[in-house]
Amino acid sequence: MMDDLLGDFIAETRDTLEALAGEIVAWEAAPDDRARLDSIFRFVHTVKGSCGFLDLPRLERLSHAAEDVLADVRADRRRPDARLVNAVLAVIDRIAELTDAIESGQPLTDTDDHVLIAALSEQAAPEPEAVPAQPPVQAPVQADVTLEDDELAAAVAAALDIEPEPFVLLNPVEPAPAPVPAPAPAPKPAAVAAPAAAAPQAAAQRSVSRTIRLPVDLLDRMMAGVSDMVLARNELARRLRDTGAESPTEVAFERLSLCIAEMRDAITRTRMARVEHLFTALPRMVRDISAELGKQVLLEIDGGDVELDREMIEMIRDPLTHIVRNAIDHGIEPPEQRILAGKSMAGRLHVAARQVGNQILIEVIDDGRGIDGDKLAKKAISAGLISQDRGATMGWDAKLALIFEPGLSTANKVTAISGRGVGMDVVRANVERIGGTVELESKVGQGLHLTLRVPLTLTIIPALTISCGGQQFAIPRSAIEEIVRIGGDAVRMGSLGGAPVVFIRGTRLPVVSLRDVIGLGGEGPEQTTLVVLKLSAGNRYAMAVEAVHDHEELVVKPAAPVVMASGIYGGTTLPDNSRPMLLLDVAGIAEKAGVQREQSAAEVVETVEEEVHGDAVPVLLFRDLDGVGRAIPLGLVERIEDCYAGAISTTAGKVRLNIDGRLIPLVSCGVRITDEKVRVLRMHDGNQELAYAIDAVIDIVNTEIVLQRNVVPGPIAGVMLVEDRPVEFLDAFWLFAQGNGGEHAREVRPYCLLSDGDPWTRQVLAPLVESAGYEVVYPGSEKADGADVVIVSESAPFEPREGAVLKLRTIADDPRAAPDSLWRYDREGLTAELRRHWNKRSAA
């Protein structure tokens, strides 16, 4: 893959050099020409960008130096005099040579790179000397010096201070033509003929890069032609079947079929490439940039096998790079800031590609600080871009869109990474030029969700064919996580609140019956296979289908608007059997089936890779409506949802939430809910449901729950330190009792007297006793006398009294202990005893 990228880079660089040839010459003649200057600037900028992640430090240094100088010129900080032009041209020539050298594998001496770079600086003495660089066709001569030179960096720095040496001729064997009359060096990369012939070369030839340029229409025609050929072949196949072909005819036909299939593949390859090409460079880039900026970033990439027109890929490359850089530079906060904000230390950057209908969506999602639309609006007002009124009345989306205004940078300092005047305005212009759009969604403090939509002319997607209701459909392979059979190992069907779910290796997923969604009736073969599908943001669900067939590469075309309007299709495909097949839109089906798009807390646990130590359980930390940080064991939380406040009603004195067409009790810490939407934790105790309203989820941690318990029953079970912060734990028992209580008469609980009031008894024993259904009392309480059960430590003096007595010993295996004593930590034994007495009492 790297070779591919390098090859692409080399071809691209050469192409641009060719195109730039004229520009360079013209610029030399008229250095004031901005347009030309801009083209040259963009060239070096692109080269610099590619070098970064292709690991070409020399090229990067050279192009960076040139870029700096050109930026200065653009900003009118320097005049483009002849000397500067020479120096830039020299650098560009060197870039060309290096590109050749990379391709041919020949090393190139770099001892004078720093000289070229130094020549760019202002302090360099006026230098009209001979051309330092050769036209790019020349192959290098010295073959014994290595490419890498770490001292070069130091040399560059030093070079700016020292007197630059006179230019060194690269090719000393160069005969007469080389010392061109100064100071009009103008090496024309296009005018290649003479020097090429002149220099006798010892080194290898320039290896010709074997690419050619083709008009895109020609490729389209080929594509259409091949598809027709396939259909004609199918027609022939049918006829042969009908008329019963003879054996030689069949053999010949098979050969023809094979040839056609291969040709179809090859021609497909001419236009399409996988988005992978865009994505492979990302991990390195992200790593380097985050290292440079001192940030930690976790990169997630999805959908690399979505195929896209090569043309489109090239057009999106720059915008995508810029967006990712922005995300790391301006979006994701430094680790300390993130921790203060209650976020995880490493920022999450998710880059995903998928096909929806006749578009490819490339999403870049980060959980950084997001874009502050209000700040943007203020800047825009003060920059005179919008009026005060407009700024006051514009909606949030419009404010976010201000980021595309040129010249409006929210970065407090324009960093070397992303601030080079190639701003979001250029990104959007580039995307729109190919008929695409850029959309933004952002919540301040929570991150930015950016979607690039690029139209498809033609797409080929690896897809899986499934059947349902007697019909075949296709599902994009990129959306499929796995396929399981119902009844297989680790697959257990279940039901939750009337909706079918499946437990796959212990994780619960909603189940969607495709047959039901598309309304093909209830009859038909059993849907025995589950396809686990991925939605955005890590959500998943399982689709039940009748059968799974083949993997195929399918050409997907957009369906007519009236078909797309149904929301569940991503397009139409024409598999080889020539009957159109619909491609399913995985997200659309999820929506139609009512699968909630939210962070399912239970699934997040799957991805938390920490080991669970001892009694550590996952605990959900959240910020409650009153701003206090609280927690609840994750196992109690079924899902976390956003609901409309309008769905909350108070009936018969109880607050309820209308959700999924049912009313479930809603409990909260008491703060009035004023927002339009409220986030709730949905809990299920095995019998009943409950919703608890919160502000926001903070995190999920694994920890052992050891609480300092409240003595008085209430919504808070106790407090403990979680990651050095005191966190109140919700008392689920109390919540459920609160939410659903009132309908049953509160049973009077039996009392258990704990004869010792020591801290252990209070904090460790008491909760256990309470959870067994007893009310705990201590000596001195008025209820102490009538206690149903008494628990003593066996060493304590004791008077026999009413009620059963449980003796606890401190040592597990103590031969001297009374035979009927229980070890204090024998949870099972204790609970069993307590229950036994409870039952006895109830039965009585």
SS3 state of residue 431: helix
Bin 723: left if φ > 0, else alpha if -120 < ψ < 50, else beta: left
* Residue 519: CB minimum distance to other proteins, A: 6
Which residue, 712, 774, 713, 784, is CA-closest to 753?
784
CA distance 762 to 755: 11
Q: Does 471 bind other proteins (CB under 8 A)?
A: yes
Q: Which is nearer to other proteins, 501 or 520 (CB)?
A: 520
- Asked if 483 contacts 331 with a C-beta cutoff of 8 angstroms, the reply is no
Q: Which is nearer to other proteins, 569 or 751 (CB)?
A: 569
- Compute CA distances 665 → 594, 670, 734, whole Å: 21, 14, 13
Q: Torsions phi, psi of 725, nearest 5?
A: -120, 140
* Residue 278: CB minimum distance to other proteins, A: 27
Q: Which is nearer to other proteins, 421 or 558 (CB)?
A: 558
SS3 state of residue 334: coil
Figure out which of the listed residues 179, 283, 494, 580 binds other proteins, where binding follows CB under 8 A.
Answer: 580
Q: Which is nearer to other proteins, 37 or 475 (CB)?
A: 475
* Residue 439: CB minimum distance to other proteins, A: 23
Q: Which is nearer to other proteins, 122 or 235 (CB)?
A: 235
- How are beta strands 307-309 and 272-274 bridged, if at all? antiparallel
| Site residues (CB under 8 A) for other proteins, limited to 515-554 | 517-520
* Residue 76: CB minimum distance to other proteins, A: 47
Figure out which of the listed residues 20, 51, 351, 582 binds other proteins, where binding follows CB under 8 A.
Answer: 582
Q: Torsions phi, psi of 771, nearest 5?
A: -70, -20
CA distance 300 to 284: 13
496-499, long-range: CB < 8 A, 24+ apart? 496/638, 496/684, 497/660, 497/662, 497/684, 497/689
Q: Does 52 bind other proteins (CB under 8 A)?
A: no
* Residue 469: CB minimum distance to other proteins, A: 7
* Listed ranges 156-164, 386-394, 433-441, 573-581: which one lies at the site for other proteins (CB under 8 A): 573-581
CA distance 66 to 43: 10
CA distance 310 to 480: 24
Q: Does 217 bind other proteins (CB under 8 A)?
A: no
* Residue 474: CB minimum distance to other proteins, A: 12
* Residue 424: CB minimum distance to other proteins, A: 31
* Listed ranges 2-10, 523-531, 578-586, 779-787: which one lies at the site for other proteins (CB under 8 A): 578-586
Report CA Rg, the chain. Answer: 36
* Residue 470: CB minimum distance to other proteins, A: 9
Q: Does 294 bind other proteins (CB under 8 A)?
A: no
Q: Does 268 bind other proteins (CB under 8 A)?
A: no
Q: Which is nearer to other proteins, 178 or 582 (CB)?
A: 582
Q: Which is nearer to other proteins, 359 or 703 (CB)?
A: 359
Q: Which is nearer to other proteins, 62 or 556 (CB)?
A: 556
Q: Which is nearer to other proteins, 46 or 572 (CB)?
A: 572
* Residue 560: CB minimum distance to other proteins, A: 4
- Compute CA distances 194 → 141, 176, 197, whole Å: 18, 11, 5
- Chain CA centroid to CA 60, Å: 28
CB neighbour class for 654 (10 Å; exposed up to 12, middle 13-18, buried from 19): middle
CA distance 287 to 299: 9
Q: Which is nearer to other proteins, 234 or 810 (CB)?
A: 234
Bin 134: left if φ > 0, else alpha if -120 < ψ < 50, else beta: beta
SS3 state of residue 786: helix
The two tokens of residue 359 are 């578009």
Q: Does 831 bind other proteins (CB under 8 A)?
A: no
Q: Which is nearer to other proteins, 561 or 661 (CB)?
A: 561
Sheet holding 677-684, edge to edge: 637-644, 677-684, 689-694, 662-667, 654-659, 648-651
The two tokens of residue 814 are 């103590």
Q: Which is nearer to other proteins, 331 or 469 (CB)?
A: 469
CA distance 720 to 771: 19
Q: Which is nearer to other proteins, 75 or 560 (CB)?
A: 560
Question: Total residues contacting other proteins (rule CB under 8 A)?
Answer: 30
* Residue 573: CB minimum distance to other proteins, A: 8
Q: Which is nearer to other proteins, 572 or 793 (CB)?
A: 572
Per-residue binding letters, 222-261, with other proteins (x by CB under 8 A): --x--xx-xx------------------------------
Which residue, 588, 536, 530, is CA-closest to 559?
588
* Residue 648: CB minimum distance to other proteins, A: 32
b/e map 305-343, b = 16+ CB within 10 Å: ebbbbbebbebbbbbbbbbbbbbbbbbbbebeebeeeeb
Q: Which is nearer to other proteins, 470 or 786 (CB)?
A: 470
Figure out which of the listed residues 20, 40, 581, 587 binds other proteins, where binding follows CB under 8 A.
Answer: 581
C-alpha atoms less than 13 angstroms from C-alpha of 791 in its C-beta half-sphere: 30
User: DSSP state, 604?
Assistant: H
Q: Does 153 bind other proteins (CB under 8 A)?
A: no
* Residue 572: CB minimum distance to other proteins, A: 4
* Residue 45: CB minimum distance to other proteins, A: 37
Report the Cα–Cα distance between both ends of the chain, in Å, rounded. 79
* Listed ranges 51-59, 137-145, 571-579, 771-779: which one lies at the site for other proteins (CB under 8 A): 571-579
- Asked if 401 contacts 382 with a C-beta cutoff of 8 angstroms, the reply is no
CA distance 88 to 70: 8
- Asked if 633 contacts 730 with a C-beta cutoff of 8 angstroms, the reply is no
* Residue 225: CB minimum distance to other proteins, A: 9
* Residue 388: CB minimum distance to other proteins, A: 38
* Listed ranges 120-128, 145-153, 221-229, 247-255: which one lies at the site for other proteins (CB under 8 A): 221-229
* Residue 227: CB minimum distance to other proteins, A: 3
Q: Which is nearer to other proteins, 270 or 781 (CB)?
A: 270
Q: Which is nearer to other proteins, 234 or 507 (CB)?
A: 234
Tokens 């997630």, residue located: 300
Figure out which of the listed residues 440, 574, 645, 707 binds other proteins, where binding follows CB under 8 A.
Answer: 574
Q: Does 270 bind other proteins (CB under 8 A)?
A: no
| Site residues (CB under 8 A) for other proteins, limited to 551-570 | 557-563, 565-569
Q: Which is nearer to other proteins, 131 or 514 (CB)?
A: 514
CA distance 675 to 823: 52
Q: Does 78 bind other proteins (CB under 8 A)?
A: no
- Asked if 351 contacts 362 with a C-beta cutoff of 8 angstroms, the reply is yes
Q: Torsions phi, psi of 96, nearest 5?
A: -60, -45
- Asked if 633 contacts 619 with a C-beta cutoff of 8 angstroms, the reply is yes
Per-residue binding letters, 308-347, with other proteins (x by CB under 8 A): ----------------------------------------
* Residue 547: CB minimum distance to other proteins, A: 17
Figure out which of the listed residues 52, 195, 368, 469 binds other proteins, where binding follows CB under 8 A.
Answer: 469
- Compute CA distances 84 → 27, 70, 832, whole Å: 12, 9, 90
Number of neighbouring beta carbons within 10 Å of residue 810: 14
* Listed ranges 50-58, 73-81, 538-546, 577-585: which one lies at the site for other proteins (CB under 8 A): 577-585
Binding residues for other proteins (CB under 8 A)? 224, 227-228, 230-231, 469, 471, 517-520, 557-563, 565-569, 572, 574, 578-582
